[in-house]
Amino acid sequence: MLLEDIVKKILQARVYEAARETPISPTPSLSKRFSNQILIKREDLQPVFSFKIRGAYNKMAQLDEAQKAKGVIAASAGNHAQGLAMAARQMGVKAVIVMPRVTPEIKVQAVRGWGARVVLKGDAFGEALAHAKELIDEHGYTYIPPYDDNDVIAGQGTVGMEILRQHSGPLDAVFVPVGGGGLLAGVAAYIKYLRPETKVFGVEAEDSACLKAALEAGERVTLDQVGVFAEGVAVAQIGEAPFEILRHHVDGVITVNTDEMCAAVKDIFDDTRAVSETSGALSLAGLKKYIQQTQVRDQTLLCINSGANINFDRLQHVAERTELGEQREAILAVQIPERPGSFKQFCRVIGRRMVTEFNYRYADPDGAHIFVGVQVKPGGEDRAEVIRRLREADYPVEDLTDNELAKLHIRHLGGGRPRERFEEEVYRFEFPERPGALMNFLTHLPADWNISLFHYRNHGAAYGRVLVGLQMPNGDRAHAEKHFDRIGYRYWKETDNTAYRLFMA
Ligand SMILES: Cc1ncc(COP(=O)(O)O)c(C=O)c1O
């Protein structure tokens, strides 16, 4: 489709019978901190707390009376489900949403609250989608896709239309979160048609960067694994219709990690008092990275806060990771002499910095391994300075700031070293948060294996993080992973991880 045709579709899109025209918020403190004017388009203020109502409503508005009489269907555990449910209610059309059984109750309730019928089916999205197709064959429902459709793209594109109408001054770059690419495709099409000089960037989570992979390969590719921390954008393959637009009309893709997203959730809160979901804050994390990488000053940069559907108990985890995302905390393993006064000496070397964490336990008379968090200035230079000072003072130091095992588990476990020497293999797992997940794991392990360590912490996320130590007969070690492959949970071997070796082995 030509850019002009998409822009026409956007201009004709029907969204305002359900969606709001959302404001653009200034960010005084963030703008000052980064020496640029930073603006946030507030799609978190939609009645379903995400932009998804726009595409769903516009798609439904194109249906004929016979299709409407039969009803619509989607498979979704996320924001599309809520958008479609609301759109259907507004039009008086029956809606069926198939959700995986693991969908958090809060989302099931929200969809029911809009009057849609919820069918819980399967453990994963694929099974829910397959069931939706069966129901279509049976009842003649019309499937409403979440992103791979030009009417959906046009609906999402009204966000771009509002941005240019509301902000008539200079606009240097716009940052948009990417899942299947519907929002970015609509926004990029509109902005590039009217203001080609404005840069448009997609922002993806590092572990679900399907647009980046497609642009690099020159064609759509399917990622083997997809991280679910930002579940709104956890998509393995960029949509076909979005990609036709994106391959020609975006200026690039920026990827960010979990900690950077968490830091952006806090930034949005600090300036607007709005709580965003991780996918919603993704675009701001990308915007900040762009400033750091290009060192731009005095520009006007806008990001879209795309949603606010986050479970409250998950905020605890977000808050915990924020300091790391801002690179304001260094996590270090330091060996100090096991004798009176040596802690004090160590603190002197650290200087007038705040110690954010400190774990240690007596292990042997020769030395103590301490797990320490230190507040540092963002940017990495200050962290390097702390490490340099410690090494100059003859302390052996390991930098664990980017070590997932250290941040997720070891900080809560430091010193859990067995008294006698024994061999164990250590694995980190992502368990689905559902009843029976542990039992399923245990029943797949051979009966003669002994569990020597088990650490789990609930973050209110879709997955629980579990650290397991296993004692197994020597002959089993080489094949241990074939048992885990059968279970189907993601896992990482951690037996050789420095953090484990220093604090647990
Ligand atoms: C909050 C939020 N942001 C961004 C996206 C990504 O949108 P798209 O799939 O159109 O790229 C989604 C998708 O559901 C979302 O829920």
Q: Does the domain made of 52-143 have the CATH classification 3.40.50.1100?
A: yes
Note the pTM of the prediction, 2 decimals: 0.80
Lowest mean pLDDT: which of 185-189, 362-366, 422-426, 482-486? 362-366
Determine the pLDDT at residue 95.
Answer: 97
Q: Which of 247, 310, 248 is nearest to 277 (CA)?
A: 310
Minimum CA distance residue for ligand 1 atom 1: 307
Please tell me the distance from the alpha carbon of residue 356 to that of residue 369, in angstroms, as a whole number. 17
Q: What percent of the chain has pLDDT over 90?
A: 62
Task: Pull the structure tokens for residue 239.
Answer: 């949509």
Q: Which amino acid is at 417?
A: R
Determine the pLDDT at residue 498.
Answer: 92
Q: Look at 408 and 310; give whichever has higher pLDDT.
A: 310
pLDDT tens digits, 180-218? 999 999 999 999 999 999 999 999 999 999 999 999 999
What is the rounded average pLDDT of the residues 479-497? 92
- The answer to whether 361 touches 414, Cβ cutoff 8 Å, is yes
Taking the centre of ligand 1 as the mean of its atom positions, its distance from the CA of residue 79, in whole angstroms, is: 8
Q: Does the domain made of 3-47+149-323 have the CATH classification 3.40.190.170?
A: no
Determine the pLDDT at residue 467.
Answer: 85
Determine the pLDDT at residue 338.
Answer: 67
Mutation choice for ligand 1 from 183, 253, 276, CB with most ligand atoms inside 8 A: 183
Band of pLDDT at residue 471, cut at 50, 70 and 90: confident
What is the rounded average pLDDT of the residues 468-474? 87
What is the rounded average pLDDT of the residues 355-384? 77
Q: Please state the CATH superfamily assignment of the domain spanning residues 425-503 in this structure.
A: ACT domain (3.30.70.260)
| Ligand 1, atom nearest to 156 Cα | 10
pLDDT tens digits, 70-108? 999 999 878 999 999 999 999 999 999 999 887 777 788
pLDDT tens digits, 143-187? 999 999 999 999 999 999 999 999 999 999 999 999 999 999 999
Lowest mean pLDDT: which of 96-105, 166-175, 226-235, 340-349? 340-349
Minimum CA distance residue for ligand 1 atom 16: 232
Supply the mean pLDDT for the chain.
Answer: 90
User: Does 381 have pLDDT greater than 70?
Assistant: yes
Contacts of 462 (CB under 8 A, 6+ apart): 102, 104, 228, 231, 432, 433
Taking the centre of ligand 1 as the mean of its atom positions, its distance from the CA of residue 74, in whole angstroms, is: 15
Mutation choice for ligand 1 from 233, 277, 283, CB with most ligand atoms inside 8 A: 233
Annotate 192-210 with b (16+ C-beta within 10 A) or e (fewer).
bbebeebbbbbbbbebbbb
Determine the pLDDT at residue 11.
Answer: 98
Query: Looking at the annotation, which residues are catalytic?
Result: 52, 306
Contacts of 123 (CB under 8 A, 6+ apart): 100, 101, 102, 432, 434
pLDDT tens digits, 238-270? 999 999 999 999 999 999 999 899 999 999 999
Instruction: Point out which residues pair with 367 in neighbouring strands.
Output: 364
Q: How far is CA 281 from CA 106, 203, 208, 243, 310, in A?
A: 20, 10, 15, 23, 11
Mutation choice for ligand 1 from 42, 58, 79, 149, CB with most ligand atoms inside 8 A: 79
Taking the centre of ligand 1 as the mean of its atom positions, its distance from the CA of residue 181, in whole angstroms, is: 8
User: Does 380 have pLDDT greater than 70?
Assistant: yes
| Ligand 1, atom nearest to 180 Cα | 9
Domain with CATH 3.40.50.1100 in the chain: 3-47+149-323, 52-143
Q: Which residue has the tokens 């240097």?
A: 172
Q: Which of 276, 391, 284, 285 is nearest to 332 (CA)?
A: 391
CB neighbour class for 224 (10 Å; exposed up to 12, middle 13-18, buried from 19): exposed
Taking the centre of ligand 1 as the mean of its atom positions, its distance from the CA of residue 177, in whole angstroms, is: 7
User: Does 460 have pLDDT greater than 60?
Assistant: no
Determine the pLDDT at residue 407.
Answer: 83
CATH code for the structural domain at 327-402: 3.30.70.260
Determine the pLDDT at residue 8.
Answer: 98
Q: Which of 473, 431, 470 is nearest to 453 (CA)?
A: 470
Minimum CA distance residue for ligand 1 atom 13: 232
User: Does 357 have pLDDT greater than 80?
Assistant: no
Minimum CA distance residue for ligand 1 atom 6: 179
DSSP assignment string, 300-355 = EEEEEE-B----GGGHHHHHHHHHHHTT-EEEEEEEE-SSTTHHHHHHHHH-S--E
Domain with CATH 3.30.70.260 in the chain: 327-402, 425-503
Determine the pLDDT at residue 230.
Answer: 85
Please tell me the distance from the alpha carbon of residue 325 to that of residue 266, in angstroms, as a whole number. 10
Helix (H) or strand (E) holding 452: strand 450-457
| Residue 364: φ, ψ to 5° | -150, 165
Band of pLDDT at residue 314, cut at 50, 70 and 90: confident
Band of pLDDT at residue 448, cut at 50, 70 and 90: confident
Q: Which amino acid is at 443?
A: T
| Ligand 1, atom nearest to 152 Cα | 10
Q: Which amino acid is at 305?
A: N
Determine the pLDDT at residue 365.
Answer: 65
Determine the pLDDT at residue 29.
Answer: 96
Determine the pLDDT at residue 421.
Answer: 73
| Ligand 1, atom nearest to 80 Cα | 14
Q: How far is CA 4 from CA 148, 171, 185, 187, 440, in A?
A: 19, 21, 13, 13, 54
Determine the pLDDT at residue 130.
Answer: 93
Contacts of 183 (CB under 8 A, 6+ apart): 51, 55, 147, 156, 159, 176, 177, 304, 306
Mutation choice for ligand 1 from 107, 178, 306, CB with most ligand atoms inside 8 A: 306
DSSP state of 116: P
| HEC profile of 344-375 | HHHHHHHCCCCEEEEECCCCECCEEEEEEEEE
Q: Which amino acid is at 262?
A: C
Helix (H) or strand (E) holding 405: helix 404-405
Band of pLDDT at residue 55, cut at 50, 70 and 90: very high
Contacts of 333 (CB under 8 A, 6+ apart): 369, 370, 371, 372, 397, 398, 400, 406, 498, 499, 502, 503
* Pocket around ligand 1 at a 6 A CB cut-off: 50, 52, 78-80, 146-147, 156, 177-184, 232-233, 277, 279-280, 306-307
Minimum CA distance residue for ligand 1 atom 12: 232
Instruction: Point out which residues pair with 212 in neighbouring strands.
Output: none
Taking the centre of ligand 1 as the mean of its atom positions, its distance from the CA of residue 242, in whole angstroms, is: 13
Please tell me the distance from the alpha carbon of residue 8 to that of residue 60, in angstroms, as a whole number. 18
Band of pLDDT at residue 362, cut at 50, 70 and 90: low
Number of H-type helices and E-type strands within the chain: 21, 18
Determine the pLDDT at residue 9.
Answer: 98
Taking the centre of ligand 1 as the mean of its atom positions, its distance from the CA of residue 44, in whole angstroms, is: 12
pLDDT tens digits, 387-425? 999 999 999 999 999 898 888 888 776 556 666 677 889
Please tell me the distance from the alpha carbon of residue 503 to that of residue 494, in angstroms, as a whole number. 13
Determine the pLDDT at residue 144.
Answer: 97
Taking the centre of ligand 1 as the mean of its atom positions, its distance from the CA of residue 182, in whole angstroms, is: 8
User: Does 454 have pLDDT greater than 80?
Assistant: no
Alpha helices in 62-205 (DSSP H): 65-70, 79-91, 105-113, 125-139, 150-166, 182-194
Supply angle C-alpha 34, 276, 373, rounded to 5.
65
Collapsing DSSP to helix, strand or coil, 173 comes out as: strand
Task: Pull the structure tokens for residue 160.
Answer: 């771009």
Band of pLDDT at residue 451, cut at 50, 70 and 90: confident
